[in-house]
Amino acid sequence: MTETTARPRPVVRLRPKAEARAIRHGFPWVYGDELVTDRRTQSIAPGTIATLEDAERRPLATVTVNPNSKIIARVLDRNPEAEIDRDWLIARLTHAQAMRERLFDAPFYRLIHAEADGLPGVIVDRFGDVAVVQPNAAWAEAMIDELASALTEVAGVATIIKNGSGRARGLEGLPEETLVLRGEVSGPIQVPMNGAIYLADVIGGQKTGLFFDQRPNHAFAARLAKGARVLDVFSHVGGFALACLAGGAQSALSVDASAAALDLARQGAEAMGGGARFSTRQGDAFAALEALAAEGESFDVVICDPPAFAPAKPALQAGLRAYERVARLAAQLVAPGGYLVLCSCSHAADLVQFRAASARGIGKAGRRSQLIHTGYAGPDHPMLPQLAESGYLKSLFFRLD
C-alpha cells in the first residue's frame, strides 16, 4: 500500500474539546472519543493513511486510522503532507539502526520499538541475518510487503518472519498469523548476550523468541551471582539463569511452565559450557515456589520475571496482588544476605505501585530488605517521553537480611 497523487487521502478531525496541543507536543495516539466519528470516518478501511486536523480544520499530522480500534488514529509523521511509502520506511529504519549499531557489537537487538522509533505498533527484533516483525497495527499489516522490502535493504537480513500473534493484534481487529515472508529458518537461532548463549525459537517461541529488553538487568544480576546458587522463576529460555552462569554462578535452576522453553534453556547452557551447573523444573511458578519452600531449599539469588499480570487498567488490582504474592513466596527462598530480583512488564502498573506491592510481599514474608538497584529496558527499547506505556519494564534488586 502506497500513497498516490491520483486519489487524495481522507481527512479526520479532532473534536472541539480534544487536546490538539498534545499531538503538537509529540503524543502519538488519538482515542475514539477524541475524534469526530461520523459515517465517513467510520467507513475508512483499517490501516488507511489520513490527514489529521484540529477542531478548527488546521492540519496537524499524518496518521493511520483504524475505526475498529480504541486507538482510532496513530501519528506516523508530524508533517501533515508526509508520504508514507517505501522511502519513508527506509528513512525510519535507517535512523533506528544507526543507534543500535553504535550500541551493540553484534546484530542481535530490538531494531524497532514501535512508537518510540516512529513506527507505531511495529516491533522488529533482529537475530543476525533474521528479522522477526510484529505488525501489531492495521497500517503495518497493510504495508507488510513494503516493510519487508525496506528491512532487506536497510538491515541486509536474508530471512524475515511475520509474527502475527498476541493481544495487541486482537485489539486492532487483526487475525493471528505467523509465517516466513522471505528466506528460511532451519531451527532455533543461537544468540550471544552478556557472555551467555541463548536459543531463540523465532517461529514457535513466545513473542519473537527472545526478550532483549532485560539485557542490562541480566548483566546486573550476573554481577551478584558469582559463586552463588541461583533460582530463576518464569525463566522462559533461561534469561537470567544463563547470564548468571556466565557470571560465575555455582548453579542455576530455571523454573517455567513451558517444557519447550526449558529445553531451549538447557541447550543454551550446554552450548556455553554450563550444562553441568544448570537444572530445570517445569510447572506452575507459584506451585514451584511453594514446593521449594516446603523442601527447605534456599538460594543466594532469586529472580522472578513473570508475564504481565496487569496488562491493562482493569487488571491492575489483581495484578498488584499477584506481584505481592510472588514477592512473598520468593523472599522465603532467599538465603540471609542474599538477593531478590523482581520484575514487571505490566503497562498498567507503574514503578511506584510495583515497588510498593513488592515491598509488601517481602515484608509479609518476614524479611527486611534494601533496594539496591532499579533497572529498566535496554537502550534498544527506547522510551517515547510523551507515552508512559513505552517505559513498561521495571526490575527491582533487593538485598534481604
Give catalytic residue positions.
Answer: 345
In the block, residue with C-alpha cell 502498573: 349
In the block, residue with C-alpha cell 525463566: 235
Strand ranges (E), 78-148: 108-113, 122-127, 130-135
Closest alpha carbon to 14 in 33, 42, 39: 33
Phi/psi of residue 148, nearest 5 degrees: -65, -40
Closest alpha carbon to 137 in 49, 56, 239: 49
In the block, residue with C-alpha cell 467510520: 42
In the block, residue with C-alpha cell 531478590: 340
Is 75 within 8 Å of 62 (Cβ atoms)? yes
The CA distance from 4 to 317, in Å, is 48
Buried-state track 227-238, b at ≥16 Cβ within 10 A, e below 16? ebbbbbbbbbbb
